[in-house]
């Protein structure tokens, strides 16, 4: 798994790391983190402490089930919680457990500041998704990109002419694009 160093000292998946740094820029300084990517052994330690009800151990998923192990989760420092509540979702950092103010997971498709997906051939993007079914994801992205391209060709012609031949043709392409985005979004959630 490829991880990138972030300004707070931790490491994240490259996509999450880019978002984290964009978020820090909006925050005005490095956002404090308590925990970023964890090894299997670190997750196991936290899980065992949690199930044994040891003092100082919070909820932890079993090893192999935490997105911390994939580099898509951060436990943030308390001084940033209010700001993250107001702005974190806009950067794709979603609070997934209502009982944990500190824990957020990166969801690229929710990131309003990630305007354009990188080219689907870009090796780094596919490597960043290595915990998902890359071949299936690649096919869906390609189909979705093609459907959107056909829609743009029909509606966004440089000469301003609308090339839509029928409402059914337009509706089918829009349905195809939405279905592809939906499949990708489900895989990333």
pLDDT by residue (tens digit) across 24-44?
A: 999 999 999 999 999 999 999
**Predicted local confidence at residue 10, as pLDDT:** 94
pLDDT at 159: 47
pLDDT at 2: 84
Q: What is the model's pLDDT at position 47? A: 95
- Give the C-alpha separation, 139 to 119, whole Å: 13
Cα–Cα distance measured from residue 52 to residue 60, given in angstroms and rounded to the nearest whole number: 11
The answer to whether residues 1 and 130 touch, using CB atoms and an 8 Å cutoff, is yes
pLDDT on residue 130: 46
Q: Give this prediction's pTM.
A: 0.61
pLDDT at residue 189 in the model = 53
Model pLDDT, residue 116:
44
* 3-class DSSP assignment, residue 117: coil
Which residue ranges in the chain fall short of pLDDT 70? 115-189
| Mean pLDDT over the full length of the chain | 78
pLDDT the model gives residue 147? 66
Strands (DSSP E) found in the chain: 4-5, 11-12, 33-35, 73-76, 91-94, 103-111
The Cβ of residue 47 has, within 10 Å, a number of other Cβ atoms equal to 19
How far is Cα 138 from Cα 119, in angstroms, rounded to an integer? Answer: 11
* Residue 79 Cα to chain centre, angstroms: 23
DSSP state of 29: S
Query: Are 66 and 44 within 8 A, CB to CB?
Result: no
Rg of the chain in Å (alpha carbons): 20
CB 143, CB 183: distance < 8 Å: no
Q: Are 84 and 126 in contact (CB under 8 A)?
A: no
In this structure, is the dihedral angle defined by the CA atoms of residues 189, 41, 81 and 11, taken in order, positive or negative? negative
pLDDT at 184: 59
């Amino acid at each position: 798994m490829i991880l990138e160093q972030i300004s707070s000292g931790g490491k994240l998946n490259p996509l999450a790391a880019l978002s984290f740094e964009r978020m820090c820029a909006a925050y005005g300084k490095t956002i404090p983190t308590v925990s970023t990517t964890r090894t299997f052994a670190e997750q196991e330690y936290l899980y065992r402490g949690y199930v044994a009800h040891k003092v100082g151990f919070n909820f932890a998923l079993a090893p192999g089930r935490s997105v911390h192990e994939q580099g898509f989760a951060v436990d943030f420092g308390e001084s940033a919680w209010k700001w993250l509540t107001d702005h974190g979702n806009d950067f794709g950092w979603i609070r997934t457990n209502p009982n944990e103010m500190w824990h957020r997971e990166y969801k690229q498709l929710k990131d309003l500041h990630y305007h354009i997906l990188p080219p689907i051939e870009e090796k780094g993007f596919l490597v960043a998704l290595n915990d998902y079914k890359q071949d299936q994801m690649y096919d869906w992205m390609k189909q979705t990109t093609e459907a959107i391209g056909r829609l743009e060709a029909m509606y966004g012609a440089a000469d301003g002419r609308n090339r839509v031949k029928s409402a059914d043709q337009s509706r089918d392409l829009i349905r195809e694009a939405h279905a592809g985005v939906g499949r990708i979004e489900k895989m990333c959630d």
